[in-house]
Structure 1
């Protein structure tokens, strides 16, 4: 695929922004998938597979930055990581064979629900991690499996839903939850890439180009979040902004405004 230099700039800076958003909030795939389908003209399933390359590299870089900053405890978070990865394997098995367009139509209403959850009692999102209370495995395991299935299937918005479960149910701080999210997304995305590649659904030239931008955005954002004292506050603000913008785009409200 021949890409003009103007498109190269859009791909790079758009990917860097997506990597930053994915690391601290989620739903950055709304940017990268739009670039892949609307700007570069890739078919849906090929765009879905190609998008995973940058997600993996940004997650690996972000995980390293969080771990170095003392925000990623793999042993403490082993169960969310394990069951989310298992769910993701099932999700990607469906994704390579089934169109996700119908599911996308439901996604916009999930975003409205998520906005309500984020805005009601916002202090819940700003507390520090409290892991003294054990989660109920009969609730936690299905939640993590469902999160993984969704992430393996479509990815878009998975970070937002994962944060909601980890902060409001598992009682992680927003930054600690982001650290786990980045690691678990990177782990299952590696498996997802293998499956998509096996199906011939990755454009590596485009995917690697986007990966450069996403990795830069993901690493520096994770480094900032791990070291800045007010990172929880800014992560919450970004999360609200991301969900609001997603709702505007999904319901075409920008067309009414302009």
Structure 2
């Protein structure tokens, strides 16, 4: 293996992990990089889950160290998302070639539309209790399906559910988001590993980068709060639009 490939994936993982924890959409960097390195769509899609797991382990730990945790609610939402992820991954493992590229394009268009309609975010107080718990859990089955299917942009789906539907501030929403993604990513990786050849060595390099990015993202989210999260959210969406229009 050429030495620059793991280094490139490590760097992509750092950036992707930080963006994913702060808002979402970081996989729009890591997955195309793996496709550029010659990995087929399903292999890149599956290998990316190694990085997602590493990222979210560090992010959950980072939030916990800063005093942010609600494992009971996180676990129940993660169980619903994992159910959806199982079926989504079984669909995603068959996604390749032109359809893989078209799906990436559709994701970016959809996220851009969301950005033009307010992102599904609203300001709430950190003291507010979660609401609409049943609806939130049901919606996370769908979010998990998307996460299992392709992962890209799933954070941008989770945040509006946690913020607008369930009434959580963006810091606590991110706290739940990374735990939920950690759990359902194990389900997704198991499905992909059973059906395609995961690139474990490249995945390790990517995972190390994702872990560092996830740790940095958790600390940034807690220390800088909603203001920085919103800015990163906007930048992630603009980056997706640029990728769609010019590359």
1:108 counterpart = 2:104: no
2:201 to 199, 205, 223: 205
Q: Given the alignment, which residue of 156, 159, 163 partners 2:159?
A: 163
> Which of 69, 72, 96 is residue 66 of structure 2 equivalent to?
69
Normalising by structure 2, we get a TM-score of: 0.91
Cα distance in 2 for residues equivalent to 1:222 and 1:20? 8
Q: Which residue of 1 aligns with 2:139?
A: 143
Q: Partner of 1:63: helix, strand, or coil? A: helix
Question: Is residue 131–residue 170 contact of structure 1 (8 Å, CA) maintained in 2?
Answer: no
> 1:130 deviation in Å?
5.4
Question: How many residues end up aligned between the 2 structures?
Answer: 244
CA distance in 2, matches of 1:169, 1:129: 15
Relative to structure 1, is the Cα distance of residues 190 and 133 closer, same or farther in structure 2, using a 3 angstrom cutoff? closer
Q: Could you tell me which of 176, 181, 186 is aligned with 2:182?
A: 186
Contact 2:119 2:160 in 1 (8 A): no
Deviates more, 1:126-135 or 1:72-81: 126-135
8 Å Cα contact 2:87/2:145 also seen in 1: yes
- C-alpha distance in 1, partners of 2:74/2:196? 33
Q: For residue 33 of structure 2, what is the aligned residue in structure 1? A: 35
Aligned to 1:177: 173
Q: 1:249 to 1:238 in 2, by over 3 A?
A: same
Structure 1 residues 129 and 82 mapped into 2: Cα distance closer, same or farther (>3 Å)? farther
Residues 73-124 of structure 1: CA deviation (Å, up to 9, x unaligned)? 111334322211211111111112344524334213211222123368x7x2
Number of the residue aligned with 2:3 = 4
Matches within 5 A, 1:214-225: 214-225=210-221
4+ residue runs over 4 A deviation = none
- Uncovered stretches (5+) of structure 2, i.e. residues with no partner: none
Question: What is the deviation of 1:61?
Answer: 0.9
Bigger radius of gyration among the two: 1
Contact persistence 1:115–1:244 (CA under 8 A): no
Structure 2: distance between partners of 1:212 and 1:50:
13
